[in-house]
Structure 1
Amino acid sequence: MTNETIFMNRELSWLKFNERVLEEAESEKNPLCERLTFASIYQSNLDEFFMVRVGSLIDQMIVSKNVKDNKTGMTAKEQIQAILARVAKLNRRKDTVYENLMDEVAQAGIRLVDFRKIGKKEGKYLEQYFDAEIAPLISPIVVGKRQPFPFLKNKGIYAVVVLEKKNGKEKLGIIPCNSGVFPRLVQVPAEEETYMLAEELILHFISKVFKGYFVKAKSLIRVTRNADIDADALYDEDLDYRDFMEGIIKKRKRLLPVRVEFSRELDGDIVDKICEYLDLDGKYVFRGSSPLDLSFVFQIQDSLRNHPELFYEKRVPQKSTQIDSKRSILEQIKEKDKLLSYPYESIRPFLDMLSEAANDDEVVSIKMTLYRVAKQSKVVEALIDAAENGKDVLVLVELKARFDEENNIEWSRRLEEAGCTVIYGLDGYKVHSKLCLITKKTNGKIEYYTQIGTGNYNEKTARLYTDLSLMTYDQEIGEEAAAIFQALFMGETVQVSKKLLVAPNCLQNRLLDMIEEEICHAKRGEEAYIGVKMNSLTDKKLMDKLIEASQAGVEIELIVRGICCLIPGVEGYTENIRVISIVGRFLEHSRIYIFGKEERQKIYIASADWMTRNTVHRVEVAAPVEDPDLKLRLNEMFITMLSDNVQARELKSNGKYTRLQPGEEAPLNSQEFFYESAYEALESQEKNKTILQ
Structure 2
Amino acid sequence: MAKGNIQLTNREISWLYFNERVLQEAADVSVPLIERIRFLAIFSSNLDEFYRVRVPTLSRLANINAKAKELLGYNPKKILKEIKEIVVNQEYRFDDLYENVIIKELEAERIFIINEKQLNVKRGEFIRNYFREKLLSTLVPVMLDDTKPFPELKDRGIYFFVRLSKKDKRQKVQYSLIEIPLESLERFIVLPETNNLKFVILLDDIIRYCLDDIYFIFDYPEVEAYSIQLTRDAELTLDTNVSEKFIDTLAKSLQKRKKGKPMRLLYDNNIPLSMLSYLVAKLDLTSDGLIPGSRYHNFKDFINFPNVGRPELEYPKEVPLRVKDLDLSKSIFSQMAKRDYLINLPYQSFDYIIHFMREAAIDPKVTEISITLYRLAANSRVINALINAAKNGKKVNCLVELKARFDEQNNIYWMNRLEEEGVNVSHGLHDYKVHSKICLVTRIEKGKPVYYASLATGNFNEKTSRIYCDHSLFTTHQGIANELRRLFRSLDKKIFLDDYKYLIVSPLETRKKVYGFIDQEVKNAHEGKPAYMVLKMNSLADEEMIGKLYEASNAGVKIQLIIRGMCCLVPGVPGMSKNIEVISIIDKYLEHARLWIFGNGGKELMFMSSADFMTRNLDQRVEVGFPVLDPEIRQELRDIIDIQLRDNTKAREINAANTNRYRRTEDVVKHRAQKEIYTYLKNKLQK
Q: Tell me which interval the TM-score lies in, with the shorter structure as reference length.
A: over 0.9
How many Å separate the matches in 2 of 1:385 and 1:175? 46
Could you tell me which of 246, 255, 264 is aligned with 2:260? Answer: 255
Q: Which residue of 1 aligns with 2:39?
A: 38
Give the superposition deviation at 1:114: 2.1
Deviations 1:528-569 (CA, angstroms, capped at 9, x unpaired):
111100000001111000000000000100000010000100
How many Å separate the matches in 2 of 1:621 and 1:181? 39
Q: What are the equivalent positions in structure 2 for 1:237-636 lying under 5 Å apart?
A: 237=242, 239-289=244-294, 291-304=296-309, 307-596=310-599, 599-636=602-639
Tell which deviates more after alignment, 323-332 or 221-230: 323-332
SS of match in other structure, 1:406: helix
Q: Which residue of 1 aligns with 2:229?
A: 222
Q: Which residue of 1 aligns with 2:102?
A: 101
Matched, 1:54 2:59: no
- Runs of 5+ unmatched residues, structure 2: none
How many Å separate the matches in 1 of 2:568 and 2:495? 31
Matched, 1:74 2:74: yes
How many Å separate the matches in 2 of 1:289 and 1:348? 42
How many Å separate the matches in 2 of 1:408 and 1:148? 35
Amino acid paired to 1:83: I
Tell which deviates more after alignment, 376-385 or 354-363: 354-363
Matched, 1:668 2:671: yes
How many Å separate the matches in 2 of 1:157 and 1:507? 43
SS of match in other structure, 2:62: helix
Deviations 1:619-669 (CA, angstroms, capped at 9, x unpaired):
000001111221122211111110011110112343332102364431111
Tell which deviates more after alignment, 357-366 or 527-536: 357-366
Amino acid paired to 2:514: L
Give the superposition deviation at 1:216: 7.8
How many Å separate the matches in 1 of 2:682 and 2:32? 22
SS of match in other structure, 1:227: coil
Deviations 1:154-181 (CA, angstroms, capped at 9, x unpaired):
1111111234578733442111123556
Q: Which residue of 1 aligns with 2:682?
A: 679
Tell which deviates more after alignment, 586-595 or 174-183: 174-183
- For the aligned residue pairs, the C-alpha RMSD in angstroms reads 2.4
- Tell me if structure 2 keeps the 8 A contact 1:178–1:199: no
Q: What are the equivalent positions in structure 2 for 1:167-186 lying under 5 Å apart?
A: 168-178=171-181, 180=183, 183-186=186-189
Q: Which residue of 2 aligns with 1:689?
A: none
SS of match in other structure, 1:530: strand
CA 1:19–1:521: 2 relative to 1, 3 Å: same
CA 1:565–1:2: 2 relative to 1, 3 Å: closer
Give the superposition deviation at 1:132: 6.3
Q: Which residue of 1 aligns with 2:87?
A: 87
SS of match in other structure, 2:428: coil
Tell which deviates more after alignment, 292-301 or 534-543: 292-301
Give the superposition deviation at 1:407: 1.6
- Tell me if structure 2 keeps the 8 A contact 1:399–1:424: yes
Give the superposition deviation at 1:220: 1.2
Amino acid paired to 1:384: I
Tell which deviates more after alignment, 121-130 or 108-117: 121-130
Give the superposition deviation at 1:109: 2.4
Give the superposition deviation at 1:438: 1.2
SS of match in other structure, 2:560: strand
CA 1:433–1:69: 2 relative to 1, 3 Å: farther
Amino acid paired to 1:574: S
- Tell me if structure 2 keeps the 8 A contact 1:448–1:473: yes
Q: Which residue of 2 aligns with 1:156?
A: 157
How many Å separate the matches in 2 of 1:2 and 1:373? 39
Q: Which residue of 1 aligns with 2:198?
A: 193
Q: Which residue of 2 aligns with 1:690?
A: none
TM-score by length of 1: 0.93
Aligned pair count reads 679
Deviations 1:589-633 (CA, angstroms, capped at 9, x unpaired):
000011115752110000000011101110000001111221122
Aligned residues: percent identity? 36
How many Å separate the matches in 1 of 2:113 and 2:255? 35
- Tell me if structure 1 keeps the 8 A contact 2:113–2:200: yes
How many Å separate the matches in 2 of 1:226 and 1:615? 25
How many Å separate the matches in 2 of 1:607 and 1:182? 37
CA 1:577–1:452: 2 relative to 1, 3 Å: same
- Tell me if structure 2 keeps the 8 A contact 1:39–1:94: yes
How many Å separate the matches in 2 of 1:18 and 1:574? 24
Give the superposition deviation at 1:124: 6.1
CA 1:246–1:680: 2 relative to 1, 3 Å: same
How many Å separate the matches in 2 of 1:66 and 1:28? 49
CA 1:290–1:377: 2 relative to 1, 3 Å: same
Give the superposition deviation at 1:279: 2.4
CA 1:119–1:244: 2 relative to 1, 3 Å: same
CA 1:655–1:68: 2 relative to 1, 3 Å: farther
SS of match in other structure, 1:658: coil
- Tell me if structure 2 keeps the 8 A contact 1:157–1:177: yes
CA 1:145–1:309: 2 relative to 1, 3 Å: closer
SS of match in other structure, 2:402: coil
How many Å separate the matches in 2 of 1:129 and 1:520? 72
SS of match in other structure, 1:556: strand
- Tell me if structure 2 keeps the 8 A contact 1:207–1:213: no
